Amino acid sequence: MITLFLLPALACYAASSAGFIADRARGRTRWTGSAAVALGAGAVFHALDLVARGIQAGNIPVASFAESLSFLAWLIALIALVLIVRLRMAIIGAVILPIVTLASLVALMTMQTARLVLPDSLRSVWLPIHVTLAFLGYSMFVLATAVSLVYLVYESKLKAKRTMRPANSDVPSLEKLDRINYRLLGWGFLMLSLAIISGAIWADATWGHFWNWEPVESWSLVIWILYAALLESRLTVGWRGRRAAALTIVVFTVLVGSYVGMNFAFPGKHGGSFG
């Protein structure tokens, strides 16, 4: 299949990355506006690409690793855009845009030209619901991790009294970073929970069991429990700030590890995709 729109999307993401990074390196906001526009344009091209693929596939385009990666990158780009524009978190652009760019690049390079067809067992209205929820959850976790990284860097600077950013540059305060991390985790957790529920309903409809103890199912349960514990620790003992940021990164590492392990060790129903 021809990737007509993914290439311009990639170009926009690359330009956006360059803008955010250049501003961050100099502590200015000169390119931030243009970089945000480039990000928005990239997301629009990317959406066109996804729609074109979706129409061809007759369903959500997640038939291959490349398509899944592309869809995930698009969701991350969208949420990043919201954070940057609505919450004035330009700093996150410098961290997340290179990742979005890289993911789109990998997707573009590994995208098969042959048309992929979903197996009949997966053709269902539950597919887009389940996948979108799961991917939204993962995107939130990716962004929460990026926010946590930024938190740790600023926190250590402030502790070491090496802080010297100009007072009115738009670097968010620790409190704001912590709050956004918490919100992203909360939303991500909600999406993950709904993804698991929708997956269970779908499994019941297709195979007659809610839960099959597949590796993906077991691991998503583990991940779900870890994120639940992370949120719980904040609400009860009040682990926030540095500790919450560090734990966010640890849990995300487990998530990535489990994904890599599953896809390359035990390909099951979810194989070839992210879910």
Residues that bind another protein (CB under 8 A): 27-28, 154, 158-159, 161, 163-169, 171-176, 179, 237-243
* The residue type at 65: F
Shortest spacing between CB 167 and another protein, in angstroms? 4
The residue among 115 and 159 lying less far from another protein, judged by its C-beta, is 159
Shortest spacing between CB 165 and another protein, in angstroms? 7
Shortest spacing between CB 245 and another protein, in angstroms? 11
Cα(140)–Cα(78) distance, rounded to whole angstroms? 11
The residue among 154 and 219 lying less far from another protein, judged by its C-beta, is 154
| Cα separations in angstroms, 139 against 24, 121, 135, 145, 181 | 23, 26, 6, 10, 13
The residue among 176 and 218 lying less far from another protein, judged by its C-beta, is 176
Shortest spacing between CB 173 and another protein, in angstroms? 5
The residue among 177 and 195 lying less far from another protein, judged by its C-beta, is 177
- The 8-class DSSP code of residue 87 comes to S
| Cα separations in angstroms, 235 against 69, 186, 223, 230 | 33, 11, 19, 9
Cα(102)–Cα(43) distance, rounded to whole angstroms? 14
Sign of CA dihedral 184, 210, 269, 56: negative
The residue among 241 and 272 lying less far from another protein, judged by its C-beta, is 241
